[in-house]
Each structure stands twice: as C-alpha cells, then as structure tokens.
A and B are shown apart, each in its own frame.
Chain A
C-alpha cells in the first residue's frame, strides 16, 4: 500500500535525509570533544530513517539498511562487549580506554580513543532497535 503523501513532503524528505544523516555522522565523530556521541547519533539516524519511513514507507527504508535489524543490534552489542573484553585481555581491566595519537597528512593531529568502538556499538544498537520497532509496527494489518 502506498501512503498518501504530498509532493512537498517527498521533496523535503529527499533533500533533508542526506543532510540529517551527515549531521548524525558529524555528531558521532564530534562526540568525544563536543556535544554528540554514539547514542545521540544513533537517535538522529533513527529519526532520519523514521522520516523516510513515514513519507515513503518501509520498502524504501529497507533499500539502504541492513537486511536483519536484530542482527544489527547483536552486532552492536558484540562490538561494545568486545571493546570491554579487549582491554581486559590486554591486562587493563574491563572497558579501560586506550588513546592513540596519530599524525595524519591531511587531518593533522588526530586522537583515536578505543571507546569509539564502544560508541559505535551503542550507535548500532540504537539504530537497530528503532528500525526493528518501526518495521514491526508498520507492517500491514492482517
């Protein structure tokens, strides 16, 4: 069933979706030093996908999302856990952050914190949870 939407809504969504998604990516990367982080970025992405769903329907959302949303949640959880266990096996204690200072040609001085992987796990979980719920709720009524 095609939802009754207007051309205005469709056009706005088409143009704003990449912007929102890019903003989410920015929030994720900026999170360690500025407002943002995995959770917020996850909710932002989820909001963008929800918009897409409301305007174009589930099929359109499924075109550019992983096939298994529960799998995405599982991946996120494993990633978060692996970060913790990783530092444990290096003998630092569970979830201890490692900080890597890099000097890259274009970006200049860059710090990579191991907690970024943890944050990515949180991001995957939040996106996966939202997608699972909207895919279940938005199913056609039997």
Chain B
C-alpha cells in the first residue's frame, strides 16, 4: 500500500515546505498545517473498510535488506486508531493554534515543528519494524523538545524542554537495548514476526530484562511514576502543544507500545505486577498531586499522568476486558483531555492567567468555554451520560475480574481511590474557574473568539456522543483496535447503562469520596509537597545532571590541559598500552621469518639516520632541531629509493621539503624560544615514554614483517591493477581506485584541518 508511505511522508515534506509557505500565508500558516492533517485523516479513513475485514496492511521499503533493516509499514486496527487520532486531533489543534498564537509569533517555525512531530508520531504507530519504531520514537522526543522550548527566551521553557528530552530520550535508550535483546531471542526486527513468537519470548531467560527495559521506555514516555515529573514541566509549551503532544498523542506512545507488544510480552505475573502495578500507582499519585495544583495546566498535566496510569493499569491486567476498557478509555481521554487543554488555553488567552487563585466566577463572561469545560470535566470525572462513565464502569468491572491474592482486594480499592481523586480535581477545575467568587485576573474576561472555540467544541461534543451512542466508535474503532492488540477477533457491545451491580456501587462510592476529598484540597496542598516529592525522581534527575556536568568538566580539564605535550603524553601512552598489551596477550613473536643481512651502504644510512635523530633531541634551539628533523626525513627518503619504492621516496622527499619550509615559517611567527629547565623527573618520564613508544612501533614493524598471519593482499592488487584500475602503477591505482574511499576521506580530513588552520591563523590576536 503506497498510500501508507504517502501518509507517513507527507507531514515531513510539509514541515520542510512550511518555512516557504509561511512567507506567503504569514499568520494563516496554521490552515496549511491543518489541511495536511485533514488530508491524512481522510486518507487513513479510506483504509478503514480493509481493517474492518480484519486485514493487516503492510508496505515494505527495503533499506539495508542484509541487516533486515527495512522501513516496514504495518497497519492493523491498533495502528489505524492511533494514526486517526494523531491526524484528527492534529487537524483540530493546528486550526486552533492558528488563532491561539499571537500574530507576532513565528507561525512558520511553530507549524513546521508541529508537522514534524505529527510525522514522527505517525511513524511510531505505522511502522512494523523495531528499529524504525525506535527512530521515530526518538524523533517524537526531539520534536517535543523543540515545541516545549518554543518560547526559548524563557528559562523554564528551556529547563522543561531539556528535561523532557533527557528523560524520554533516556528511556528510549533503555527501550533500544530491550529491542536488541528481543532481536536476540526472536531473530527478527519485524514486528509481525516478533508478535507471533510470544511463547518463545516468555520462555526465554531474557524475558525479564526485555520486559523491564522496553517498559522503562514506555514509562518515561507516558510519564508513569516515578518519571512523571517531566510532564508538568513540559507545560511551559504553548497550550496547543500541551493539548496535542502532552495529552492526546505523544504521551500515549508508551501505551501504544505496551498495547502493541501485548501478544509478545503479556500473560505473565511479571507483566501484571510491573505494568499493572506501575499503572495503578500512577493513577493514585497523579490524581493526588493534581488535586492541589494552583496552575490549571499543572492540574491537567498531573491529571493526564493519572489517566495514563489508569489505561496502563488496564493494559497491565492482561485480560481481554482490560484491553477493551483501556482502549475505550484511551479514546475518551483523548477527547476530554484535549478539549480541557484547549478550554484552559481559552481561559488563559482571555484572562491572562491560569492560576486558580486568581480565577473564579467566569461562567457569566465565558459561557461557551464554561460549557465545554463542564462537559469534558464531567466525562473525566466519570459521570453519565458521557463516554468517561462507560469506560470507568468497564475499568471497575475489569479490576473485579482479577483473580489472585492481595491484588484481588487492593486493585478495586486503589481504583476507587484514584477515581475519587479524579472526581475531586475535576470538580475543583470547573468550580474554581467558572463558579464561586469572581477572581481578579489581569485582563477583563470576555468570551473567546470563534476561531478558538470550535476546536474545543468538536472535541467536547465527542464525549456525550461516546456515552449515549457508543455503537459507531465501538464498531469502527474499538473492535478493530482490541482485535489488533489481542491479534484475534474481538466483539464488544458497549452500553451506557450496565444495570445495578458492583461497578455502579464503586462509582457511587468514588463520587461520594471525591465530594469529601474536594474541600480538603487546601490541607492536602500544604503537606503533599514534602511527602510526594519522594515518589518523584526529579531530585535524582537534577543531582545526576550536576554530577555529569561536573565530572565531564573535570575529566576534560584533566585530559585536555591545553598543553601540546599533555595531549602527546595521552595519545602516545595509549598507543603503547594497546600495542604492547596486545603483543604480550597474544605472545607475538618478534623474530622476522625472512631476515637478510644488512648491506654495507644500508648500514651507513641507518647509522646516519640514528645519529641525526639523536641530534634532534639535543638541538639547542628550535631552528636547528627543525632542520635536523628534515635531514632525518631525507635520509629515510633515500632508504626508500634503496628499497625500490620510488613513489614513496618521491613523496617523502617532496613532503619533507615543503613541510620544512612551512615549519620555518611557523617558527618565524612563534614567540621567542625560552629554554626551559625541565625537572629531572619529567625528563625521566618523557625519556621513558619515548623509549616505550619507539619500542612499541618497532615491535609492530618486526611482528608484521613477513610473519604471514594473513594471506597477502598484494597479489590481488598486482593482478587486478591493469584490468580493474587501468594502470600499471599499482601504488597509484590503489590510492585512487581500490582504496579511493580512503583517499577521499583523507583529502576531506585535510580540507577540514585546513579550515582549522585558517581559523587559527586568521585570528587578529595571534600570539
């Protein structure tokens, strides 16, 4: 299906074109981005009939077939749902962003980043290759970094952006290791093949490391406790970014991967305890923290953490009911949370603040925004007749289904507790902003303009739709999605009314508990700072960052002191260490096989070379030392002539000449030479090092001269020189043909070194 490739690539191409488009469209660039997203949504919808038939669409673009590294695209119900979510939410939010952003902002930059993110995120869900998935996964981290830091003049934005990148990127690294282990076990990078080998993976001794590492990536991406700290800091981003990346899509990548790898990794106790345990813990921690926030976006961020924990917990149960409930809640969450973010964006846009302590009684001034917030918050709190109610009932039912010991009681209790928090903070959000005492916002509040009202309207309107008439979502999205996760046909029948039963009782209890908790938020705010900071790794994050930068600086100062002799010391000692240890380890013989006696004129030449070399060391000033060094070079050149190597000799003598002149020019510019009284210890150290390096290099020469470890490659070059390279001078043919790659690299290095020389010598303050 070439259409898949088009869907995947179009956001990237559009992102690259956006700067040009922005020149023409200016502040209307948002329409362009939204149009791309809309096109993608429609293209993806056209795939729905195939998916409903249970087909899995694939498209493979070979890249390095030998390494099994292909750009494989794979679409089943799960991928299609996520891709639709990404495109549809992207369309609404980018249209919203067009009006939300101030006309003075850089619209081109913003929407280019947004499209880049959209492409990366589509890549994560559409690819069917583990390596490609990892690449797109990290691309989403990168584009999230750019978007959080969009207002880069703010310290907090830069901090939040860096933190998000390091935390999610670090988790991504762990995930990559997990993928590599997965490849070790299954022998394939291909998702379909990995998924079909679930039994082999679970039986493998590497199962636990794989699960742990891959899940670490999911935890950081989906902001699960104890990595949840980056998400509130990421709220420094413009609100459309928070709505899109940090509630609707990117933070769900972790959930996507958990769902995707369900057939391969789930079905063990470790899965239930790890994924389910982390999820239910995050549900409670996030809800608890959300309740006492003053900043509306921080409240929504912790609420997102909590809701992601809920979905994670449902996937962690490993049951069919858990998967269905989790997937349906994921749908609901995307609808109500994106709507809430956009509503909060409206409030901030019109009042100039998003602090609960400055807001209140806005219902009269902003009735539409208030209405959308009310509906979405009710869905979040799990009240009928909204989709959130249905998915919460399913959640309760799924927790009651668990068999086992302690968790049989603990799980429903924690579920109710988490939902009570959800109810309480939803109440606080609606009541604190729109009812009660009027606040004192910086701007006089009035209703938001139409441009930023209709996106939250559409998103909020989905909630009663999902609750009252769930059949279309059920049939067209949920069933294919659950079938994609479980890789078998799943039939679901969703209804708003489940009848009287334990789930309804739990709902009533959680609402009652929420009503009791709500007035207590001020008290909770006082002490939760101390207690709950321990559940977060933010302190560890800051500490390790400090240690890293300090030790990085120390190590580089120690290794790179700025003195040439220091660098030479390190390089030469390392060289000797490597060479000598290899030789001693492998007991290499240093006696050449084919030795011949030295001829008399060769002997004289060698003695002359040695004497000149010693003279270089004892030369009193740089100038004679340089000239003597040139003499050594010429003597070696003559030796090459005697050994029948005209090319080498020619090169040696010419290079020696030119470099001698250049050397003299350098000396001319150096500061006056001051003879240094080196200490005895340093002389000893340098002398020892020189002897060791000389010994090591001599050892290499002796060991390689005619030992015959490998068949000589010379035969090949001599044979192929004329037919392959068209030349009888084998040396030259090697240089420009057989090893042309090397030469190209060398001349490139030469050019780069020249740029360094140019920069250094062009400086005005040359010493």
Contact = CB atoms under 8 A, between A and B. Distances in A.
Interface of A: 27, 31-40, 43-44, 46-47, 50, 54, 70, 73-74, 76-77, 80-81, 84, 94-95, 97, 99, 111, 113, 115, 118-119, 121-122, 125-126, 128-130, 132-134, 136-138, 141-142
B657 A47 contact: yes
Given A35-B731, A40-B651, A137-B761, 15 more contacts: A32-B727, A32-B732, A33-B729, A36-B729, A40-B654, A70-B754, A77-B747, A77-B748, A80-B744, A95-B744, A113-B726, A115-B727, A118-B740, A119-B732, A132-B758
B719 to A, nearest CB: 16
Contacts of B755: 70
Contacts of B661: 50, 54, 134
Contact of B743 (A35, A43, A73, A122): A122
23 contacts: A32-B726, A32-B728, A40-B647, A44-B654, A50-B657, A70-B754, A77-B748, A80-B744, A81-B744, A95-B740, A95-B744, A99-B726, A115-B736, A115-B740, A121-B747, A129-B750, A129-B754, A130-B658, A132-B758, A133-B754, A136-B761, A137-B666, A137-B669
A128 B751 CA distance: 9
A129 B666 CA distance: 15
Contacts of B757: 132-133, 136
A87 B178 CA distance: 41
A33 B666 CA distance: 37
A35 B747 contact: no
B658 A46 contact: yes
Given A115-B736, A119-B736, A43 B761 contact: no
Contacts of B295: none
B761 A115 contact: no
Contacts of A77: 747-748, 751
A35 B726 contact: no
B747 A122 contact: yes
Given A73-B754, A115-B736, A121-B747, A43 B726 contact: no
A35 B655 CA distance: 15
A35 B737 CA distance: 16
A37 B662 contact: no
Contacts of B666: 137
B754 A31 contact: no
B726 A136 contact: no
A80 B748 CA distance: 10
Given A134-B665, A138-B665, A95 B737 contact: yes
A37 B658 CA distance: 17
Contacts of A118: 736, 740, 743-744
A133 B658 CA distance: 11
A31 B732 contact: yes
B647 A35 contact: yes
Given A32-B728, A134-B662, A137-B669, A37 B748 contact: no
Contacts of A141: 669
Nearest to B647: A35
Interface in B648-670: 650-651, 654-655, 657-658, 661-662, 665-666, 668-669
Nearest to A83: B740
B601 interface: no
Given A118-B736, A132-B757, A43 B658 contact: yes
B646 interface: yes
A106 B662 CA distance: 42
Contacts of A40: 647, 650-651, 654
A115 B737 contact: yes
Nearest to B725: A97
Q: Sorted from nearest, which 4 A-B pairs have the closest CB atoms?
A: A32-B727, A99-B726, A137-B665, A95-B740
B724 interface: yes
On chain B, which size bracket covers the interface?
35 or more
Interface string B723-767: 011111101110111001101100110110011011001101000
A33 B419 CA distance: 84
- Most central of B661, B662, B747, B762 by chain A CB within 10 Å: B747
Contacts of B669: 137, 141
B727 A113 contact: yes
Nearest to B650: A40
A26 B295 CA distance: 79
A31 B729 contact: yes
Contacts of A132: 754, 757-758
B12 to A, nearest CB: 24
Nearest to B648: A35
Contacts of B724: 97
B752 to A, nearest CB: 10
Nearest to B736: A115
A54 B83 CA distance: 70
Given A38-B736, A40-B650, A129 B729 contact: no
Contacts of B727: 31-33, 113, 115
Interface in B699-737: 724-729, 731-733, 735-737
Given A119-B736, A136-B761, A141-B669, A35 B729 contact: yes
A118 B736 CA distance: 7
A127 B668 CA distance: 22
A111 B736 contact: no
Interface in B617-676: 646-647, 650-651, 654-655, 657-658, 661-662, 665-666, 668-669
Contacts of A33: 727-729
- Most central of A39, A81, A95, A132 by chain B CB within 10 Å: A39
A95 B741 contact: yes
A47 B658 contact: yes
Nearest to B760: A136
Nearest to B728: A33
A97 B737 contact: yes
B77 to A, nearest CB: 42
Nearest to B741: A95
Contacts of A37: 647, 729, 731-732, 735-736
A137 B740 CA distance: 31
Nearest to B766: A142
- Most central of A37, A44, A138 by chain B CB within 10 Å: A37
A84 B740 contact: yes
B762 to A, nearest CB: 7
Contacts of B725: 32, 97, 113, 115
B654 A43 contact: yes
Nearest to A124: B747
Contacts of A138: 665
Contacts of B665: 134, 137-138
A2 B208 CA distance: 79
